[in-house]
Amino acid sequence: MGAAGWIAVIIVILIVFAFFVPVFPTTSQSGNFFGATYQVDADESFSFLMSHCGSYMNAHSSASLGSITITHSISKGYNFSCNFSTSKSMSLI
């Protein structure tokens, strides 16, 4: 296999990694509501982080009011989704 073949293999591996491996922990600070703060946390793939099309796992939302924190699981395990909407109401996380 020549240099062009190895470059093609590396590019394919990077594309697969970007779509299917959720390694970036992200927190979306959603805001405040009557003194309570709420946010969404998940581990996301690079493509989901950039364009909302890719894989994510362990997504959960949490709300805090003083020392009380309530956490709700949004997804279980590994998920793949494509949601290009920019509207907050249509966004997955």
pLDDT at 85 (0 to 100): 61
SS3 36: strand
Instruction: Look up the pTM and report it.
Output: 0.70
pLDDT beneath 50, residues of the chain: 86-92
pLDDT at 71 (0 to 100): 93
pLDDT at 89 (0 to 100): 43
The answer to whether residues 84 and 52 touch, using CB atoms and an 8 Å cutoff, is yes
pLDDT at 10 (0 to 100): 95
Q: How many CA atoms within 13 Å lie on the side-chain side of 54?
A: 22
pLDDT at 69 (0 to 100): 92
